[in-house]
Chain A
């Protein structure tokens, strides 16, 4: 069991990050609540505390969701690598259900350990932030116990989702045939498309309804700022739909992006590799798509808001000085909070790419034997990583811009008293940070696998197992 748990290092990290993030966020919210309570002049601190908790829980939910998708993918990748062992155990007489239950149980253990570990680290970090805040006199001394029942929410959520994701991700165990232990079977390209029509239909319905609501929000927004509320409903509906049909969208985007890399053999193979397992690729990218979409959306809305305010208040010099830092600060806080989910997705992407390259050692040996030089092998892996991050980033940017503009339009379309169309403003700084982060992620994700792949000897292609 020990050796098997070692496979779950990345899942443990993901579970710890999600739990740690959730607990840290709630602890900081708790500290803020305690500070407000100590300084309660309005008597509204309880309401403020509840609001902060709700906002925090929304971010926690996003992080836990991304962590769950990431974990399901990691487990599916691990199962693919364990096929021979599973087949052997099946051959000896173990049932597929038992095998799957074992993996789910591993997920439960990892989830428990990750949740506790994350909670400890998150609490320690919150305590550190509070201590530094008081020491530097940013906040007054406060009474806070570092224990509230609400902390159990992210912890339990992480345990349950890790368990559930391990179960979902191990679905392929059921398809492993005992005979696979015997043959020297190379990796099969397991394309499990189709049979998802129900989910796709739901997704498409949600997108259609969501887009209609979004359009309605924009129209209402031309006469009344309440349009934004209609728009928010449309945004949630349509984005949920996009996530549901991601397994149809992402492979197509990956193919299109792969084509940009040219027609040299490394580029072509990289493009094919990025979609050889559409389900895996979708799960590798969807977390990033969610993160980039939310960050972009918020930044575009706020930037458009800023432009609109400056335009309306033209000539009043102190408006820029007052409004500017508030907008920048809000965008920064929101980006960091959402960015954390993107970080979790990135951990999954780095790990999955690394493992899937490892599982392709023999194929890389074949390419080396046929005349791929080391550099071409490395370029191939780098291009595969780039295709994944570029596809995720682009999709997120496009969605983010649409949602961001729709939100701003619905909110501000009636601002001048008569219906007006706003041009979406481009948040250059945030865009630059996203692009740099995507590039850094590509480099990070491909560095170790590319180096390892470059060292694969062509002899492994000839090795008879």
Chain B
């Protein structure tokens, strides 16, 4: 009998993940034999300087890109070899995304953006889901904005809409890619606090890619990447600790 990822309390797991770009003669290794497990209900930050492979790792974990070798599970589903159609349905139902910018469909208003994952699934939110969405809308302060288009919102408001959409389906795992990269530091901290709260209060599993020590300090766990490898796996840290480790890492490189 095999041990499944969920037996281990993991929401996502990767084994021997390698990604190479470029030609066979001149390959560029973005990710080099990475194995990891993301724990259910935890807010994990994936830290690293530019070019460390953190975005590539996220693309592979989210089924947005194909690995050169290695395996990826989301929950107990092996997504490594899933065809595009199945991956699409998986993204709809079991994964949430918050990007750095351009998170929202510009032609849809706030409410339609939040409900888009349900519509894509060809269904209306159930009563329980509806109540959850209402709760999110109020908690994120979007009640007065439901009829607005994205271009009428500030950057912070847009990120909150993206978070509401990502949390609405209660996905297995929420991926956030530099979610505060385009925000001023105060708005950024508000957004991070919202993510941390979703993990703490609602047990939402979150994987956040960032190079900002302040952002990473909101996470329960921090994975450091350098040159396509995980070089450190640490518990919650202060921004100062994270910064000094990053600086030491750069000095060693």
Residues of A within 8 A of B (CB): 184, 186-189, 264-265, 268-269, 272-273, 276, 362-363, 366-374, 376, 457-459, 461-462, 464
Pick the residue among A269, A372, A457, A464 that contacts B64 (CB under 8 A): A457
Report the separation of the CA atoms of residues A241 and B97 in the bound assembly, to the nearest whole angstrom. 49
Report the separation of the CA atoms of residues A276 and B105 in the bound assembly, to the nearest whole angstrom. 12
Does B120 have its Cβ within 8 Å of any Cβ on chain A? Answer: yes
Which residues of chain B (59-114) have a CB below 8 Å from chain A? 59, 64-65, 84-85, 88-89, 91-93, 97, 99-108, 112
Residues of A near B108 (CB, < 8 A) are: 268-269, 272
| Given A187-B106, A276-B106, A458-B64, CB of A370 within 8 Å of CB of B181 | no
| Given A265-B116, A272-B108, CB of A366 within 8 Å of CB of B103 | yes
Residues of A near B117 (CB, < 8 A) are: 370-371
Check B91–A369 contact: CB distance below 8 A: yes
Report the separation of the CA atoms of residues A214 and B55 in the bound assembly, to the nearest whole angstrom. 66
Does B121 have its Cβ within 8 Å of any Cβ on chain A? Answer: yes
Q: A189-B107, A363-B102, A366-B103 are in contact. List 11 more A-B contacts (CB 8 A).
A: A187-B106, A264-B122, A269-B107, A273-B107, A363-B105, A366-B99, A366-B105, A371-B89, A373-B89, A374-B85, A461-B99
Pick the residue among B97, B106, B116, B120 that contacts A189 (CB under 8 A): B106
Interface size on B, residues (CB 8 A): 37
Residues of A near B102 (CB, < 8 A) are: 184, 186, 362-363, 366, 461
Check B149–A189 contact: CB distance below 8 A: yes
Report the separation of the CA atoms of residues A186 and B122 in the bound assembly, to the nearest whole angstrom. 28
Residues of A near B85 (CB, < 8 A) are: 373-374
Report the separation of the CA atoms of residues A3 and B103 in the bound assembly, to the nearest whole angstrom. 32
A-B contacts, CB under 8 A, total: 89
Interface centre among B59, B91, B101, B102 (most CB of A within 10 A): B102
Check B106–A462 contact: CB distance below 8 A: no
| Given A189-B151, A269-B108, A273-B107, CB of A464 within 8 Å of CB of B178 | yes
Q: Which 6 A-B pairs have the closest CB atoms?
A: A371-B92, A272-B107, A373-B88, A186-B102, A371-B120, A265-B119
Instruction: Determine the main DSSP class of A at the interface with B.
Output: helix
A254 to chain B, nearest CB (A): 13
CB closest chain-B residue, reference A373: B88
Report the separation of the CA atoms of residues A56 and B151 in the bound assembly, to the nearest whole angstrom. 49
Check A459–B65 contact: CB distance below 8 A: yes
Pick the residue among B88, B91, B106 that contacts A363 (CB under 8 A): B106
| Given A186-B101, A264-B122, CB of A370 within 8 Å of CB of B107 | no
Pick the residue among B120, B165, B177 that contacts A265 (CB under 8 A): B120
Report the separation of the CA atoms of residues A464 and B89 in the bound assembly, to the nearest whole angstrom. 25
